[in-house]
Amino acid sequence: MGKVVILGVFVADTAYRADRMPRMGETILGNSFALGPGGKGSNQAVACAKIGAQTHMISKLGQDDFAKLALDTWAAAEVTPHVDHIADSYTGAAYIFVEESSGDNAIIIAPGAAALIGEADIEARADLIAGADVFVTQLEQPMPAALRALQIARDAGVMTILNPAPAAELPEGMLALCDYVTPNETECEALTGITVENAEDAARAAEALRALGVGTPIITMGAQGAYLHGHGLVPAVNAGPVVETTGAGDAFNGGFAAALAEGLSALEAVTLGCATAGLSVTRPGTAPAMPDRAEVDALLRR
């Protein structure tokens, strides 16, 4: 198994399903509620570990029930945590609205203690990052921490993946530290100014990302699949009716990182990532929806 180190955020997902989003000032009745583990970094770590990588998670938590949920989630997936517990803060939480008919979602995240992750925390775990086969981060924790971690990984010759989500303005030179960048269509437009609706748009956006220093851009495109620079569109893998799209991008990134750490090619890793995402959207929740390697391999053999 390859070793993957992930810097990111855990949040407790509070998911509400309803026929539609309420208007401002309006109250409507929902169809269901669920509480479960989430956060991009945590979801990616769970997906990565279930695909088979030796996975390590760097984050911060409060000292509360949601922190216990985080640790229990990681233990069940065999993710090794490297976390500080902050007594005077709280473990992150997220409000997730899911539209019943489509499975589409809208999300508000309050990262809590994870918003306190700083460069000193990254320096304290420099050896862990430098010893990885693959390092992954996103943009839910403070930008200076993500930037410093990418610098440490790059200096050590570790393969680097940035999932630039949620969309944000990046420091100059950050993209040049990335072997792979994995935005979705919205995040890609924020980085390049190019609207991505099809493979031709994705090709132009990928070239723009290359001009910004990215090694290999990968643009995730939902039901269309993922555009891999140098190859083209890798089709989505249909695993059944869509129940919920929350966490699909995290499933892709986790599966993709695990496959790269295992030594698979970029094309093989993107294909495996698409299958991981394809299975995840057929199930409710985020971390609980992440499939294991046997399920993904079985889907790809169909």
| Active-site residue list | 250
C-alpha of 270 from chain center: 14
C-alpha–C-alpha distance, residues 159 and 140, integer Å: 20
Which long-range contacts does 177-181 make (Cβ < 8 Å, 24+ apart)? 177/147, 177/150, 177/151, 177/153, 177/213, 178/150, 178/213, 178/214, 178/215, 179/215, 179/216, 180/214, 180/215, 180/216, 180/217, 180/218, 180/256, 180/260, 180/266, 181/209, 181/214, 181/217, 181/218
SS3 assignment, position 180: strand
What tokens appear for 216 in the block? 């290999």
C-alpha–C-alpha distance, residues 271 and 252, integer Å: 9
C-alpha–C-alpha distance, residues 209 and 216, integer Å: 8
Q: How far is CA 180 from CA 61, 255, 270, in A?
A: 28, 14, 11
